[in-house]
Amino acid sequence: MSTAIETTDIIRSFGTGALETIVLKGINLKIEEGEFVALMGKSGSGKSTLMYQVSLLDTPTSGSIKLFGTVADDMTEAERVVFRRNNLGYIFQDYALVPELSAEENVALPLLMMGHDTATATKIARATLDQLGLEGKYTNRPNQLSGGQQQRVSIARATAKKPRLLFADEPTANLDGASSDDVIDALRELHASGQTIMMVTHEYEYTKYCERVIQIEDGVLIDEREPFRA
């Protein structure tokens, strides 16, 4: 098992001079491949900011990030786009689906970008949607799906390309209880199949399938906490 994420003294600040706000204050983090890790913290603690750094959506002010042994510090934006496409999957809090595309087109989009032909991409997309219980919803557009279904499409989009690392940014934040359980179950199943997952959440009970719960407070990692056990 290799190291999926390794950060060294990550600092992220915004503004300059007297207006400078340091959100992350020297984060050292290590997540192994195959782990399901929850990142918890209060609002404003820096948990989302940390996830943006390690998922290469943002660039730290200083410090180093290594993903699967690849140093990401000097990557150009174009290289980051390609790295994200080939290695990382994202589940956004608000689903972030393309409203004009059907469910299967949303899922197929990264596959097409990776060079799959339409038939293959559609086949993979449908199979992934099936696994998430969305049979018969292939041609539905996002506004024709419930919130829970949209989030499952988002999960399908993130996982259809078999990313090495899956990021989930408060995936249950906009969902009711039943839908949230469905999403967490889906993540559990993905992890069971070997998927490395880093999930940002502020709801402790949804860490029940995680192996580690990393806590962040005021931009600093504090002691890890035991996952929720019913």
Partner 1 sequence: MPEPTHGNWRATWHVAFLLARRQIQFSSIWLNLLIMAIMVLTFLNLVVITGILTGLIQGSLADNKSYYTGEVFISTMPGDSILESTFPIMATLQAHPDVAAVSARYVQSATVEANYQDRWDFTEPENSVGIRLTGIDPVAEQAVTGLADLLVEGEYLNENESGYVLMGAFNLAQYTDFSDAFDPLENVRPGSRVKLTFAGTGATTNRGPENGGSNTLVDRGGTTAEFIVKGIVDSKVGEVSSRVFLTQDDWNRLVNPRLDQATEIAMVLNTPQAAIPLVAELKSYGFDEKAQVETAEEAIPSFLNDLVNTFGLLGSFIGGVAVVVSGITVFVVIYINALTRRKQIGILKGIGVEGGAIERAYVMQSLFYAVIGSSIGAVLVFGLLVPYFAANPIDFPFSDGILFVTGEGTVWRAGILTVVTAVAGFVPSWLIVRQNTLDSILGR
Residues that bind partner 1 (CB under 8 A): 52, 57-58, 76-79, 81-86, 88-90, 92, 96, 98-101, 105, 109-110, 112-115, 118, 141, 157-158
Is residue 197 within 8 A of residue 159, CB to CB? The reply is: no
Smallest separation, CB 217 to partner 1 (Å): 22
Of 62 and 70, nearer to partner 1 (C-beta) is 70
Question: In the complex, what is the shortest distance from the CB of residue 28 to partner 1, in angstroms, rounded to a whole number?
Answer: 22
- Pairwise CA distance, residues 199 & 123, whole Å: 28
Angle, CA of 184, 122 and 90, to the nearest 5°: 35
Rounded to a whole number of angstroms, the minimum distance from the CB of residue 105 to partner 1 is: 7
Contact 174, 193 (CB under 8 A): no
- Minimum distance from residue 79 beta carbon to partner 1 (Å): 5
Residue 76 or residue 223: which is nearer to partner 1 going by CB?
76
CB of 136 closer than 8 Å to CB of 167: no
Residue 128: name the closest of 156, 150, 151, 149 by CA.
Answer: 156
- 204 CB neighbour count, 10 Å cutoff: 13
Which residue's CB is nearer to partner 1, number 43 or number 76? 76
Nearest CB to partner 1, comparing residues 22 and 96? 96
